[in-house]
Structure 1
Amino acid sequence: MDELPDRYRAEITDPRTPFAGDAVRVALLGDAAAGCVVPTSPPNGPWKIKRLWTDPDFRGPGIASAMFDAALPHAAENGVDTVRLSVREWRTEAIARYERLGFTVTGSWDERDQLVCVQRAARGVTGVR
């Protein structure tokens, strides 16, 4: 955990503070947490999907897609037109998954190196796998 930037370390050690006010969603398979997603709506910024994660033991059966399907209606209900997220460029499998979910690569809104920024409409693109 020492190699994590401070902002991510804080999310692990005290997740209630950085995600206060956000709707953290957890995917459960039985009693096991199979994944999570944090749709965020900052007061002065665009709606983002943060911390989409699926446990490696549960990858494959559509958990990430199901979490998007659960999170996007929340954005649309709140008048959001566009949802965006960012991912490190070396995470090629994740980028391909986001593209299958209807996201397209866009110009960067973040100054961090090796970051790919993607976005998609909050409405009208459901069931994409």
Structure 2
Amino acid sequence: MMASGGPYPFPGNVPLPPYQQLKEERELVPMEAQMPITTTVVHMAPQANMTLARDHIVWSIFTTAYLNVCCLGVIALAFSVKARDRKLIGDYGGASSYGSTARALNITALMLTLLSFMLIILVVKGVI
């Protein structure tokens, strides 16, 4: 690097331009003196979707433990946990969506299990 006379002078080597005095003196006034302070209060009602967002976690645990046909119980449990997480962070729309998916998976697993039990009973009885 070049100390002086190079194409990129250091900031200390460059002379500052002369400052000009302002023609009129301005007085600084605090912001509070210029305009009155007003406050706004917004009353927020609790969201109505809080009670509608169900996660069906107990049903999913039961389905996973007892009626786990085609691993639908495990998938339902995963969706239930996602619904619970969404509910905790305040995303009630996402929680409702995940919860309804978990409910549908739990119903499907229950119906497949009942159908399987009925089919087994019919085969054992000799009807089929």
TM-score range relative to shorter protein: under 0.3
Higher RCO, Cα 8 Å, sep 6+ = 2
Using structure 2 for the length normalisation, give the TM-score. 0.20
Structure with greater helix percent: 2
